């Protein structure tokens, strides 16, 4: 049997790392890409312990580097097909909108939005010629609900949502499915690093300092409820194997209810609830 080939971006940690392993376990040949190959040792070791090393090629891709993406595409000619692209690479810039610099917003979009678009543009011609393929874009509940103190991240994920809706309809006639995964909060590096990704965070003289302290207090209380990234990896595998996947898959504690309530309630009621929850 010829294995299907899956490409995963951002495989050095978090969702990407576990999804590479789960896809390999499910029989995919996986091209695990990362922007820092010095981080590959742990993944290699774990794959080896499951006898999966031969099923995985680890390649360098920084999604903000078109050159690295082009090199990956050249290497793809050795595979019979490219069946799945998981656009997973991403990070979060924290900080209140007034204090996040435009440069920080740009960097956020370079990876989460333009990087995802560049990978998609590079792989689509292969899938279009095959007249089959699936692209899964790792969005977030932050692509559906705006939260304070992460507007850069939220706006990047809203952009991914709109892009994917358009793309879904453009690609259907070619037999290519576009899917969004919309996780809630999971225990990965993304939030820890998010705090250090903005110059505005940690400034005690900021007019938003008390708001931030309250949000962080709430997040600390909810840390024990963070989900296990393995659940998201298993969802990716199940979506990869579905006959006719939907556009959106939400995952995480309370996420479906929160999104439902946001759409159901008039905005001013929703806003009052959020303000009371966060800043009371
Ligand atoms: N964890 C959550 O609660 C959550 C919820 C919803 C959505 N998400 C999304 O899930 C995706 C994966 O994040 P995660 O939670 O697994 O966090 P993570 O552990 O920090 O993983 C992020 C991955 O993206 C990589 N990356 C960042 N910038 C890159 C670039 N320019 N080129 C290539 N790779 C890059 C990182 O590489 P380095 O190791 O080199 O930094 C890392 O491998 C992100 O798109 C994130 O927005 C996460």
Asked whether residue 277 is domain-assigned, the answer is: no
CATH number at residue 14: 3.40.50.720
Instruction: Count how many domains the chain has.
Output: 1
Assign 3-class secondary structure to 77-118.
Answer: HHCCCCCEEEECCCCCCCECCCCCCHHHHHHHHHHHHHHHHH
- pLDDT tens digits, the chain, 280 residues: what are they? 668 999 999 999 999 999 999 999 999 999 999 999 999 999 999 999 999 999 999 999 999 999 999 999 999 999 999 999 999 999 999 999 999 999 999 999 999 999 999 999 999 999 999 999 999 999 999 999 999 999 999 999 999 999 999 999 999 999 999 999 999 999 999 987 766 667 778 888 899 999 999 998 988 888 889 999 999 999 999 999 999 999 999 999 999 999 999 999 999 999 999 999 888 7
CB 126 within 8 A of CB 82: yes
Asked whether residue 121 is domain-assigned, the answer is: yes
The pLDDT, as a whole number, for residue 192 is 74
- The residue whose CA has the least distance to atom 28 of ligand 1 is 90
Asked whether residue 48 is domain-assigned, the answer is: yes
Cα 199 from chain centroid?
23
CB 5 within 8 A of CB 29: yes
Q: Is the CB of 12 under 6 A from ligand 1?
A: yes
Of 166, 136, 141, nearest in space to 236 by CA: 136
Average pLDDT, the chain: 95
Give the pLDDT confidence of 46-58 residue by residue, as tens digits.
999 999 999 999 9
Asked whether residue 275 is domain-assigned, the answer is: no
Sign of CA dihedral 111, 113, 114, 118: positive
The pLDDT, as a whole number, for residue 200 is 75
Q: How far is CA 123 from CA 63, 70, 73, in A?
A: 13, 10, 7
Q: Is the CB of 174 under 6 A from ligand 1?
A: no
Give the pLDDT confidence of 169-187 residue by residue, as tens digits.
999 999 999 999 999 999 9
Asked whether residue 126 is domain-assigned, the answer is: yes
Domain limits at 12? 5-209+226-254
The pLDDT, as a whole number, for residue 195 is 62
CB 88 within 8 A of CB 121: no
Asked whether residue 49 is domain-assigned, the answer is: yes
Asked whether residue 219 is domain-assigned, the answer is: no
Asked whether residue 269 is domain-assigned, the answer is: no
CB 143 within 8 A of CB 180: yes
Catalytic residue among 17, 79, 105, 153: 153
Q: Is the CB of 16 under 6 A from ligand 1?
A: yes
Active site residue 186: no
Give the pLDDT confidence of 82-98 residue by residue, as tens digits.
999 999 999 999 999 99
- What does the alpha-carbon distance between residue 223 and residue 154 come to, in Å, rounded to a whole number? 20
């Amino acid at each position: 049997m010829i294995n299907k080939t899956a490409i995963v971006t951002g495989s050095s940690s978090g969702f990407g790392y576990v999804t590479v392993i789960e896809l390999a376990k499910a029989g995919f040949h996986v091209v695990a890409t990362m922007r820092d190959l010095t981080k590959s040792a742990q993944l290699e070791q774990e794959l080896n312990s499951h006898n999966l090393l031969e099923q995985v090629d680890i390649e360098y891709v920084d999604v903000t580097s078109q050159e690295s993406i082009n090199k990956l595409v050249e290497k793809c000619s050795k595979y019979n097909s490219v069946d799945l692209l998981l656009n997973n690479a991403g990070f979060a810039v924290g900080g209140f909108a007034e204090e996040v610099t435009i440069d920080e917003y740009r960097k956020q979009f370079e990876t989460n939005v333009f990087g995802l678009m560049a990978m998609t543009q590079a792989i689509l011609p292969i899938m279009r010629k095959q007249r089959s393929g699936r692209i899964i874009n790792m969005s977030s509940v932050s692509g559906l609900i705006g939260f304070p103190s992460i507007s850069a991240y939220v706006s990047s994920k809203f952009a991914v949502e709109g892009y994917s809706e358009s793309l879904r309809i453009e690609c259907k006639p070619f037999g290519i499915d576009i899917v969004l995964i919309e996780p809630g909060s999971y225990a990965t590096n993304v939030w820890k690093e998010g705090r250090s990704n903005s110059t505005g965070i940690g400034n005690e003289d900021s007019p938003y300092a008390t708001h931030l302290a309250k949000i962080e207090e709430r997040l600390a209380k909810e840390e024990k409820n963070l989900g296990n990234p393995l659940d998201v990896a298993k969802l990716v595998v199940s979506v990869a194997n579905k006959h006719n996947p939907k556009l959106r898959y939400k995952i995480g504690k309370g996420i479906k209810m929160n999104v439902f309530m946001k759409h159901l309630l008039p905005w001013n009621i929703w806003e009052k609830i959020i303000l009371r929850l966060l800043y009371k």
